[in-house]
A and B are shown apart, each in its own frame.
Chain A
Amino acid sequence: MQNLIKLIPLASIMILMLFAFVIPLLKKKKHVYKLTLVIMSLVTVINLIHVVYIALNGGYLFDVGHFPAPFGIVLRIGEVESGIGLLFCFINLMVLWYSYFSLEKEIKSNRIGFFHTLDFLLLASLLGIVFTYDIFNGFVFLEVSTLAACGIIVVKDKKANIKAAIKYLILSSLGSGLVLMGIAFVYSISGHLSMSYIHEALIQNAEGKHNLILISMILFTVGLGIKGAMFPLHIWLPDAHSSAPSPSSAILSALVIKAPIIFLIKVYYLVYGTTILSGTVVLDLVLFLGVLGMIFGSLFARSQKELKRMIAYSSVAQMGYIFFGIGLGNKLGLIMAIYHIIAHAVTKACLFLSAGSFIEQTGYKTIDEFKGIGKEMPVTLGIFTISSLSMIGIPIFPGFISKWNLAMASIESGKILLLFVLIASSLLNAVYYFPIIINGYFGEDNLVGKVFNSKIRPVRTLLPLIILSVVMVLAGLFSGFIIEFIGRGIYI
C-alpha cells in the first residue's frame, strides 16, 4: 500500500502525459470533455490521498526506475511538493470544469481537443518541475512547460495571441538558456545533477570558486525569474495573459508562473544551501526586485484600460510578494512565499475566470464598459469582489494572512522599512480593484438600462468559480494549519 502511494507523483505525471495523447484520438467534443474531467478528477483525488499520506508519514525520496541517486532520476516528495502538486491539480480541474461551459465561445471547436492535450502536457510538466530532485530533469520539464504554455496562448488564433506567444517563446527560451548555462556551471564545479549530490560537492569545493557559484546563482535567478515574472523581466506576461482565452489565462497566472518559483526555491536551498546563499547578494537582489514588482506592478495595473490586462499586471505585483518572501531569507519569509503561491493561485484563478465570464456574456473588454455589471451578473461580480478583497488584504482572506506574516518576517529580519512597501502595495491594490466593484454594483448612471440578472449564467456553470472562492476563504481560515504544514517541509 505504501509503495502504491509513493507511486502517485510519478503516476500523476504519467497519466497526464499518456492521456494527453489519447485526447486527439477522440472525435466528439463531448467525449473529450468527459475524459478530461474524469482523468483530472482522478489525478486530483490521488494527489489528495498523497497529501494526507505525507501529512501523516512525512516526505520521502523516490527513485524513478530503481536506479540509485547519482545515476537515476530522483523525485523528492515533501510537504511543500505534495501540497503544491495538489493545488495545481485542483485548480486545473476547476479551470477545465469551467471551460466545459465556455471554451467553445472563445476558441474554434476543432481546437478543443488540442487545448486539452496541451493542458495535460502543461500540467504534467509543471508537476515534474515541482517534484523533481534533479536539476537537469527540471530543465527538461521547464522546456516542455514553455512550449505547452505557448500552445494554450496561441490556441485562440488571433493576431494578438500569436504576437504574445512569440514574445513569450523568445523570452522564455532565453530564460531556459540561462538556466541551462547555470546547470552547466554547477555541473562543472560539482560533476553532479542530482540536487543533494551537487550540494555536498559544492560545500566541499566552494573554496576559491565563489565567483563561479555566484554566476551560476544569478543565471538561475534571472532565468527562472523570466519564467516567474520577476519585475523587470515580466514584460511578456501582460500580453500573454490578457490575450489568451480566459481558462488559459487562469492556468497561466495560477500555475505556469508558480512552478519555476518552486524550482528556484529548490535550487536555492537544496542545491546551494543556506550557508552559501547567505554569503551572497542574490537574496537581497530578489528582495529588491520583489519590492519593485509589488509597487510598479500595481502602478501599471492601475493605468490599464482592459480588465484582463489589469488583472495580469496585478499578477506581477503579487509575484512581487512571493519574491519578497523569498528575498527576506528567513524561514517565515520562505513559508509565506509558498503560502502566497497557494493563496495567489486560487485567488487569481477566481479573478480571471470571473473576468472571463464578464467578457463572454457582454462582449466588452475595457473596465469602463463593465459599469453596472453587478446588476446584470450579481453572483459573478460577487465572486470577483471576494477575490479582490483578498488581494487588497481584508482580514481572514488569504491575502491578509500573507501580508501580515510577511510583515512579521521582515520585522524578524530587522527590515522594518519594508512594512511601508507592504502597506503601500495593498493600498494600491485597493485603488484599482475597488472602482470596478463600486461601478459594478452602484451608481445611478451605471445601472440605467441594465436589467437585473439579465446576463446571469446558470448556477451549474458558476459552480467551479464558487468552489474556488470557497476554497480561497478556507485557505484563509485554515491558514494556521497550512502554514504549519508547509513549515514542516520547508527547506531551511
Chain B
Amino acid sequence: MEKIIMLLPLGVPIVGTLLIADKKIIKDEYVTKFVSIVLFANFLLVLTSLFGNPLLQLHVLGVNDFLDVYFKIDQMTRVFALMASILWILTAFYAFEYMKHEQRTRQFYTFFTLTLAVILGVAYSGNLFTLYAYYELLTLCTLPLVIHTGTEEALSSGKKYMIYSFAGASLVILGMMILYSITGTMTFMPRGIFNDLSNYDQDLIRFSYIAMFLGFGVKAALVPFHSWLPNAMVAPTPVSALLHAVAVVKSGVFSLIRITYFVFGASVIKAVNVTQYLIPFVVITVVMGSLLALHQDHLKKRLAYSTISQLGYILLGILMLNPNGLVGAILHMINHAVIKITLFFSVGAISHMTHKKYIHQISGLGKKMPITFICFTIASVSLVGIPPTNGFVSKWFLGVGALNADNLFYIFILLLSAFFTAGYLFPISVTAFFVNGKQNAKQQNAKAHEIVVEASLEKEAIETSDHSEQMDHTGASIASETLDPSPFMLVPIVILTVIIVGLGIFPNVVINFLGGVIADAF
C-alpha cells in the first residue's frame, strides 16, 4: 500500500493522459474539467506521498546494477514536487481560458498532463539513471507543446529545441558513463557518493562533472547553449510560462543541484577545484542574458532572455558551494518560477485580449488592463530585487553566499545584472502606464514624416490629425470598459502576485523548509 501511495503521483497523470487522448472516453466539452480533476487529485496525492507516507524510497525495477529505476523522497524532492504541482494547477486554469481559441486543444492537454508526470518523476528520482531517463522523456513530452501551433516556424524551433536537448543529454550520459566506471554507483546520497577522494582519478571526476554540468546546463539555458529558449517562444503562452518557470529550465537547475550536492558533494567539487572552469560560463550567462533582453521589442522574447540571465544567478548560487549560496539558489529557483510565470501570464493576457505582442504597441494599455499591469509591475519589481518582494530575499542570500565565498566579483555581477533587470523590465510598465496612446501615435507619425516627401507634408499632417482624433475616440470608448481578462485568467495572475509579495514578507516559511536540503547537502 505504501508503495502504491508513493507511485500514485507518478502514475495518475499518465492514466489521465491516456483517458484524455481518447475521444470516446472524454468528450470535448469535459476535457478541461477532467484535466482540473486530475491535477487536483494529483496534488493531493503528491502531498500524501511526500508528507503522509512512511516509505521514502522504492526500487521499482532493478535490471542491472546501473539500470535501476529507483525513487527516493528527500527535502529537495519535496521542494521541487510541491513547486511543480502548485504551479501546474494555476497554469491549467489560465490555459483553460487562453486555449479556447487555439486549435487541437486535446493534444495540448494530453501532453500538458503527461509532462506533469514526467516532472514529478524528475523530482522523485533517487539515482542518476532514473533522473536521466525522465530527463530524456521530458524533452519528448514537451516537444509537442513547443510545436503546438504547427507552423513552419514552430517546427523549426522544435527541431532546434530537440537537437539542443539531445546534445545536452548526450553530454550528461558521457559524464554518467565516466562516473559509473569510476564509482560503480549513481544513487543520490547526502553529501555525495565519494567517501575517500584519494581512491579515484581526479581528472576523471573533473571531466565527468564538467560534462554533466554543461549537459544539464543546456536545459538550464547556460550560454552558449541557450539559443533554443528564445526560439521556443513560438509555443502558446501557458507552455512558455511552464517551460520557463518549472517544466524545463528548472528541471535542468534541479538536476544540477542533484549532481553537485548529492552525487559529487560540495567537498569533492571544492577539492578537485573544478568550478573555475564553469564560473566563466555562468557569469557570461548572467550578463549576456540581461544585455540581450535589453533590446528585444517582442514581449515574450524579452522575458525569455531575462530567464537566461536569472538562471545564471541560480547556477552561480549552486557553484558558490556554501550553505547560503545554495539557499539563495533554491530560493531563487522557487521565486523566479513564481515571478516568471506571473510575467508570462500577464503578457499572455495582453496578447490574448488585444493581440499585441510588441512593447511599442502596448503604450497606454495600463489604464485599460489595470490589474494585469499592476501584477506585472509587482513581479518586475520583485525580479529586480526590491523589498518587500521575494526576489529581494533570494538575491540577499545569493549576496551573502558570495561574501561567504570571499568573492566580491560575484556581488558586482549580481548588482550589475539587477540594474539591467530594472532596465529591461520597468520600461514595459512605464510604457503601459505613462506613455499614452495618442502621443505614441504622434511619434510614429513624426517618424513617418521624415520618410515622406516634403511635398505631401501638409496633406499628410491633416490626414494624420484626423486619424489620431479617431484613435482618441476609440481609445476613450475602450478605456471606459476595462480590458482585463476573464477571471479564469486573472485569478491565477493575482494569486501568483499575492504569493510573490507574501514570500517577500514571510520568507522564513520557505527558508525553514529548505533547512532540510541544506542539512543533506553540507
Contacts and interface: CB of A to CB of B under 8 A. Distances in A.
Contact of A423 (B66, B159, B173): B173
A430 B67 contact: no
Contacts of A443: 147, 150, 154-155
A412 B166 contact: no
Interface stretch (B177-185, B306-314, B324-332): B177-185
Interface stretch (A38-46, A297-305, A393-401): A393-401
B97 interface: no
Nearest to A393: B173
Interface stretch (A28-36, A114-122, A168-176, A474-482): A474-482
B163 A396 contact: no
Contacts of B144: 441-442
A424 B174 CA distance: 10
B359 interface: no
B171 interface: yes
Interface string A410-452: 0110001001100110110011001100110111111100000
A401 B66 CA distance: 10
A441 B103 CA distance: 15
A392 B137 CA distance: 13
A447 B150 CA distance: 9
Sort chain A's interface into a size bin. 35 or more
A186 B171 CA distance: 46
A430 B163 contact: yes
B451 interface: no
A442 B136 contact: no
A407 interface: yes
B152 interface: yes
A394 B162 CA distance: 13
Contacts of A480: 63-64, 67
B133 to A, nearest CB: 4
A438 to B, nearest CB: 6
B404 interface: no
A359 interface: no
Given A401-B67, A438-B143, A477-B63, A426 B170 contact: yes
Interface residues of B, number: 35
A411 B150 contact: no
Given A442-B150, A443-B147, A430 B159 contact: no
B136 A419 contact: no
Nearest to A479: B63
B64 A419 contact: no
Nearest to B137: A394
B178 A438 contact: no
Interface string A358-391: 0000000000000000000000000000000100
A430 to B, nearest CB: 5
A491 interface: no
Given A431-B163, A479-B67, A411 B181 contact: yes
Interface string B150-194: 111011001100110011001101100110110000000000000
Interface in B22-70: 61, 63-64, 66-67
Contact of B159 (A396, A403, A420, A435): A435
B132 interface: yes
Given A407-B177, A419-B178, A394 B167 contact: no
A404 interface: yes
- Interface core residue of B63, B137, B143, B159 (most chain A CB under 10 Å): B63
A394 B118 CA distance: 15
A253 to B, nearest CB: 25
B150 A444 contact: yes
A408 B177 contact: yes
Contacts of B163: 430-431
Contacts of B174: 419-420, 423
B315 to A, nearest CB: 23
B159 A438 contact: yes
Contacts of A441: 144
Interface string B119-157: 000000000010011001100100110010111101100
A403 B64 CA distance: 14
Nearest to A477: B63
Given A394-B137, A394-B140, A396-B133, 6 more contacts: A394-B133, A404-B177, A411-B177, A416-B178, A419-B177, A444-B103
Interface of B: 61, 63-64, 66-67, 103, 129, 132-133, 136-137, 140, 143-144, 147, 149-152, 154-155, 158-159, 162-163, 166-167, 170-171, 173-174, 177-178, 180-181
7 contacts: A401-B67, A408-B177, A408-B180, A427-B170, A442-B144, A444-B149, A479-B64
A-B pairs, top 6 by smallest CB distance, nearest first, are A444-B150, A395-B133, A411-B181, A407-B177, A480-B64, A423-B170
